[in-house]
Each structure stands twice: as C-alpha cells, then as structure tokens.
Amino acid sequence: MTRAHRVAVIGGDGIGPEVTRAALRVLDAAERRFGFSTSREELPWSSARYLEGGAAVTPAEIDALRRFDAILFGAIGDPRAPRGVVERDVILGMRRRLDLFVNLRPIVAYDDRLVPLKGKRAEDVDFVVVRENTEDVYTQTGAITGSGKDQVAEAPMRFTRPGIERVVRYAFELARSRPRKHLTLVDKSNAIPVQQLWRDILEEVGTGYPDVERDAMYVDAATMWFVLKPERFDTIVTTNLFGDIITDLGAAICGGLGVAASGNINPGRTSMFEPIHGSAPKYAGRGVASPLGAIGAVALLLRHVGEREAGDAVERAIRDRLRDGRVKGVEAGAQRTDEVAEIIAEAVSAP
Ligand code: IPM
Ligand code: MG
C-alpha cells in the first residue's frame, strides 16, 4: 500500500497562488521518486474573498482543517483590505485554533553568494529558530481606551508555564538531534522582568538534557550577533514577538525573504507550512517571484508527514541547483517562477 497524505492547499493573495503552484510541481516529483501520494484540496481563502463582502475564513472552516495531515500555505495580504485584518483571521487564526505552538524557521544559507555579511560564507549561517507561536502580545487582547491626552494603548505580553514548557522542550529535542547540540534562549528579561519565567523553565527543562549545552542572550544583542557572528548559533528558542523580528533578519542573512521557509507545527497533528515572504502584490501574476521559499516549505511539510527522505531530497535539490548556478538567484525577477520549479523538480526526480 502506498503511503497517502492529505494536504490542504491555500494559495492566498498576490504571489501566493503562483509560488504554491510551483511548489506543488516539486511535490509531484517527490511523490513519483519516493513512492507516496497526496490527496490535495484547494481552499480559496484570500483577501479577495474578504473584499467580496465575506470573511476571508471562518473559525469553523479553520477547525475543519483538522481532517488534513498538513497545510501548504502561500501568502496573505492585500493593500485594499484594512491593515492586518485578513492576516489576523487567516494566519493567526490557523496558528491559534490549530494550536500550532512551534514556529520553526531554519536560517540556512545554501550558497556563499547568498550571504550578504562581510567575510562570512554559507557554512557560517546554519541555525534554526524555534519561535513560540501562540502566546505573547499576539493573543489579540488589549485595547486603546480613553480619549484625547488620556488615550492609552495597552496589550498584555502574556506567557503561561505550559505554553513556555512545551516549546522549550521541543527546542531541546531539536537541539539534541543536531550535531552541535547547543540551545540559546533569546529574551529580554533585563527590561521585561516577567520573562524571567523563560529563564527558569530553560533551566528546569534543561536538566533533562545534560547533553545539550544551553545559554541565554538578550534579543538586542542577538540581532548584533546574527550579523557579526552567525556561526555562534545552532538552535534558538524565543518568544513570539522576538521570533517574528529576528527571523526576518535571519532570512536576510541567508539570502533574503525569497528563500526562507517556515513550519507552524503541533507535533503529530495538522500543521501548516509557508514561505516567510508575504504576498508581494507588485510581483503578483507576473511569473517572476521566487518559488524557493514555498519549495522549502514543501521540504518541511514532507518531514512533518513522515517523508524525511523526500524532505531531505527537496532541500538538497534547492542547495545543489543554487550552488551550480542553474537557479540564478532568490530575488524576484532573477528567473521565471516556473523555470525554477522545473529545475528543482528535475533535480528531485533525478539527482
Ligand atoms: C510572520 C508574519 C506574521 C507574524 C504577520 C503577517 C501577522 O510577519 O509570519 O512572521 O507577525 O507572525
Ligand atoms: Mg514576520
């Protein structure tokens, strides 16, 4: 019997649908080579749907995603919709309602020419950020109250012990599986004393991982070391907000938003995979966006559904074709979207 996986496909807005389509061609190639199958269902959640007068997506529709093993997501965001509304409903909606508490963001440079840091090479940029994905100031609570000079904008930065514990444990497991076995907590517990809870839990959980070396760093310092000494990092665990910020910088030091991918994961349950880039409306429909982020998301998705070998093969195909120059770059316009997909799919089929 062939292994079968159920995959929901949400192209979304802007370049989302075209990079997703390109990534599915690579998934086709992986299926043929590694002997598994997927059943795919496309879901039309988008800003267009919102602008037509409905909701981009309803909570019940998100809950119904549980029938899938994984979700491949493109991008969301449209300048014609009010800022943040559709992003909140779709992306944050999936993260919260499906309890996708890990946001896994590999910061891996595939080729020397993609590293913009002076004196650094691809081998210097090879780490992974585990971003907590359900708590912090992302819980959509808080309000602007009062009027005139008395206006106050307030939103709680809220962390729960179970919320921290589960993501710290995940990060220790991941660090243990990597050759360097080193975990760094990134926080701001000097200025935000409640973040001491993260340090306490790092120590508690860490006693169960004596083989994993651990340390902690303030987020401002971390941004500096990303640029000056990226090779010092192996596995990072951090809060939702800081994880959001440092992973854009992380994407930049490994080549830009065009190549970075992320997994929104609840281990063993329906999880969602997406490129880090957004909908890039100005490139939409032109066939010039880089599909590498979406293809990287397919690699992460494959590992999640148990197709590790296939996931590794997709990642290797991206690296090899960037290194030999057949994939010319990661920025929009470097090459046609379809052409890149074809080259990677071929490399997956016949390495
Ligand atoms: C990300 C994005 C989202 C976030 C936005 C679109 C809400 O920046 O996935 O990093 O802040 O998490
Ligand atoms: Mg972000």
| pLDDT > 70: percent of the chain | 100
Contacts 24+ apart (CB under 8 A), 82-89: 85/50, 85/56, 86/13, 86/46, 86/47, 86/50, 86/56, 88/140, 89/50, 89/55, 89/56, 89/57
What is the structure's pLDDT at 2? 76
Judged against a pLDDT cut of 70, whether residue 254 lies above it is answered with yes
The architecture that CATH gives domain 126-142+152-253 is 3-Layer(aba) Sandwich (3.40)
Ligand 2 centroid, distance to 63 Cα (angstroms):
23
Categorize the per-residue pLDDT at 1 as very low, low, confident or very high, splitting at 50, 70 and 90: low
> Cβ distance 134 to 96 under 8 Å?
yes
Categorize the per-residue pLDDT at 351 as very low, low, confident or very high, splitting at 50, 70 and 90: confident
Ligand 1 centroid, distance to 97 Cα (angstroms):
16
What is the structure's pLDDT at 3? 93
- Pick from 47, 78, 91 the residue to mutate for probing ligand 1's pocket: most ligand atoms within 8 Å of its CB: 91
Per-residue pLDDT tens digits for 65-79? 999 999 999 999 999
Beta strands 3-12 and 36-42 are parallel
What is the structure's pLDDT at 84? 85
Phi, psi of 131 (to 5 degrees): -100, 125
**Which atom of ligand 1 approaches the CA of 248 most closely?**
10
337, HSE (Cβ side, Cα atoms, 13 Å):
25
**Rounded-to-integer distance, Cα 18 and Cα 13, Å:** 9
Residue 344 to residues 28, 109, 256, 266, Cα–Cα distance (Å)? 11, 17, 19, 28
- Pick from 102, 244, 248, 262 the residue to mutate for probing ligand 1's pocket: most ligand atoms within 8 Å of its CB: 244
Q: Report residues near ion ligand 2: CB below 5 Å.
A: 244
**Rounded-to-integer distance, Cα 7 and Cα 301, Å:** 9
> Cβ distance 234 to 182 under 8 Å?
yes
Six token digits for residue 296: 């990287």
CATH class of 1-101+258-351: alpha beta
Is residue 97 within a helix (H) or strand (E), and if so which, with residue range?
helix 93-97
**Rounded-to-integer distance, Cα 228 and Cα 177, Å:** 26
Ligand 2 centroid, distance to 291 Cα (angstroms):
18
20-23-29-31 Cα dihedral, nearest 10 degrees: -60
For residues 178-195, give the mean pLDDT. 98
For residues 326-339, give the mean pLDDT. 92
Judged against a pLDDT cut of 70, whether residue 243 lies above it is answered with yes
Judged against a pLDDT cut of 70, whether residue 143 lies above it is answered with yes
**Which atom of ligand 1 approaches the CA of 92 most closely?**
7
For the chain, where do the domains classified as CATH 3.40.718.10 start and end? 1-101+258-351
Six token digits for residue 35: 């002997």
Helices (H), 254-349: 292-304, 308-323, 337-349
Categorize the per-residue pLDDT at 149 as very low, low, confident or very high, splitting at 50, 70 and 90: very high
| pLDDT > 90: percent of the chain | 92
Categorize the per-residue pLDDT at 257 as very low, low, confident or very high, splitting at 50, 70 and 90: confident
Answer whether 87 contacts ligand 1 (Cβ < 6 A). yes
Q: How many residues in total does the chain contain?
A: 351
